[in-house]
Amino acid sequence: MKTSGLLIACSFLISGCMGMPQFPEQEKNPKFWNDWAQQTLKDSLEQDFSNKKAKNLILFLGDGMGVPTVTAARILKGQLSGKSGEETQLEMDKFPFVSLAKTYNTDAQVPDSAGTATAYLCGVKANEGTVGVSAGAVRSQCNTTKGNEVTSILRWAKDAKKSVGIVTTTRVNHATPSAAYAHCVDRDWYSDNEMPAEALQSGCKDIARQLFENIPYINVIMGGGRKYMYPINMSDVEYPDITKHSGTRKDKRNLVEEWKSKMKDEKAHYVWNKEQLKSLNPKNVDYLLALFEPSDMSYDLDRNNNTDPSLTEMVEVAIKILQNNPNGFYLLVEGGRIDHGHHEGKAKQALYEAVEMDRAIGLAGRLTSIHDTLSVVTADHSHVFSFGGYTQRGNTIFGLAPKISDVDHKSYTSILYGNGPGYKLVKGERENASVAKYDEKNYQAQAAVPLSSETHGGEDVAVFAKGPMAHLLHGVQEQNYIPHVMAYAACIGQNKNHCMLKDGAVGLMPMFSSIATILTITLLLC
């Protein structure tokens, strides 16, 4: 794709800055598009369908990052660098294999982040609101937990002696990361403080506790969620005077101190700010617990650059630590606040989160090799987010549609939500977007139906893949197919029949192995 990239860059150099049309002059020439398509075709024909073993596995999960969000983030990324935006490539756009995943939960047409996390981490579809348990478990019913637990690919990798890590911009015990280690019938049981007495009496454990007890020695844990690890009313180290940030645990346990005590003889570190994180030498770290906020981390647009690391900075440290293991690693990275921005109707916050996750994807690509690392980028679900209005090429993604409504004669933004908190009436009529501060970071885009929190969408999500066995992610698949492919590529988990060689390579594929067996028998009989 290098040639096509140069064509695009050159076309913008000769593009006029004033007047219409707002697109490069070269695009008027059919040769521009024909050459670009032919180069893309050439690159595709040269694509390597690698059957090599994946030493490392990385799953990037954009929470709520549906296809409209991907497209809008692509345009934003380009516009942030002074381009029109539409022709820009996200890092995930460069992945050679793309498929679609069906996201429904076993009991929900439009899914939530817990049931979907169980699918793409544990390999089985599950009920809405439950993590790390099969559909036999019923949400909030503690007594349905036992016997319905399912394990995740993070556990499969750990059992194979790989290093494992979790990096998220939400709480480390939020829905997405918790499915990697917990078995819980309610995603909201962050600590024992959020659990009903009946569940505690029946022996169910909160998710924060399971983080430290279920899979010993997770190598990297990074994100927010400090308050769920500390005794109730214990002041937070960063916000000692803000009550809502104080500890929540009724059992009075200090899980951070327990972790530090347990890891005292290991190369282990606990950090809670960016300065401490940056002071570490990853080569000398085997275990890292990093909790940067009492709850979720700040939106990237609101982040204090001096005290809080970006997702990209966290991913860099995580990969460098995990690479210490010669057996390889599994890393789950969640851009979790894309989802939160959409729920709040704050498209600008959501899209900047998506662009930041794309930066992290690019960095991970530079730190690893496509020859031994299978990287997958996907979403758990979509949102009722859209952009349209017949906007012209290069229109700011947060801007107005070019024409007013022919019904109520008011302006509207290109970005709209099907429902959510952006529903506003002024004197009984729809607000005129042209008088609103629609370019501010917390502007809530107009919505068709009033809701305090915008909802998820039910359509399929994209799955981008590169590296060994990436071609197995093809077509339209159930979401729970994803971890099975990743495990197969790395020779971990339940299906290892194809992993016969001891030198780190993948052995004969099952079909060819069967043919070889038949030929051998035939020769013996002859």
**Residues marked as catalytic:** 113
Which candidate, 418, 426, 421, 422, places its Cα nearest to that of 446? 422
Looking at the chain, the number of H-run helices and the number of E-run strands are: 15, 17
Residues 179, 184, 189, CA angle at the centre, nearest 5°?
Answer: 100
- State the pairing for strand pair 268-271/287-291: parallel
498 annotated as belonging to a binding site for a ligand: no
176 annotated as belonging to a binding site for a ligand: yes
339 annotated as belonging to a binding site for a ligand: yes
Which candidate, 295, 335, 339, 296, places its Cα nearest to that of 315? 335
Q: 10 Å Cβ neighbour count for 305?
A: 10
Locate the DSSP E strands across 344-422: 373-379, 382-383, 385-387, 415-420
381: tokens are 């679900």
Burial of residue 427, with CB atoms counted within 10 A of its CB: 0-12 exposed, 13-18 middle, 19 or more buried: exposed
What is d(CA 139, CA 120) in angstroms, rounded to the nearest whole number? Answer: 19
Q: Strands across the sheet with 415-420, in order?
A: 385-387, 415-420, 447-450
Give Cα separations from 112 to 148, 183, 380, 457, 484 (angstroms).
19, 16, 8, 10, 21
174 annotated as belonging to a binding site for a ligand: yes
The answer to whether 436 touches 449, Cβ cutoff 8 Å, is: no
What is d(CA 213, CA 217) in angstroms, rounded to the nearest whole number? Answer: 9
The answer to whether 179 touches 210, Cβ cutoff 8 Å, is: no
User: Which residue type does 77 have?
Assistant: K
State the sign of the Cα–Cα–Cα–Cα dihedral 190, 195, 201, 203.
negative
43 annotated as belonging to a binding site for a ligand: no
391: tokens are 């906007």
Q: Strands across the sheet with 329-335, in order?
A: 268-271, 287-291, 220-224, 163-171, 329-335, 56-62, 373-379, 461-466, 97-102, 476-478
Which candidate, 521, 373, 382, 515, places its Cα nearest to that of 461? 382
Buried b (16+ CB within 10 A) or exposed e, 311-330: bbbbbbbbbbbbbebeebbb
Which candidate, 225, 227, 236, 230, places its Cα nearest to that of 252? 230
What is d(CA 308, CA 498) in angstroms, rounded to the nearest whole number? Answer: 44
Q: Which residues touch 239 (CB under 8 Å, ≥6 apart)?
A: 245, 294
Q: 10 Å Cβ neighbour count for 30?
A: 8
Give the annotated binding-site residues for Zn(2+): 63, 339, 343, 380-381, 456
Binding residues for Mg(2+): 63, 174, 176, 334
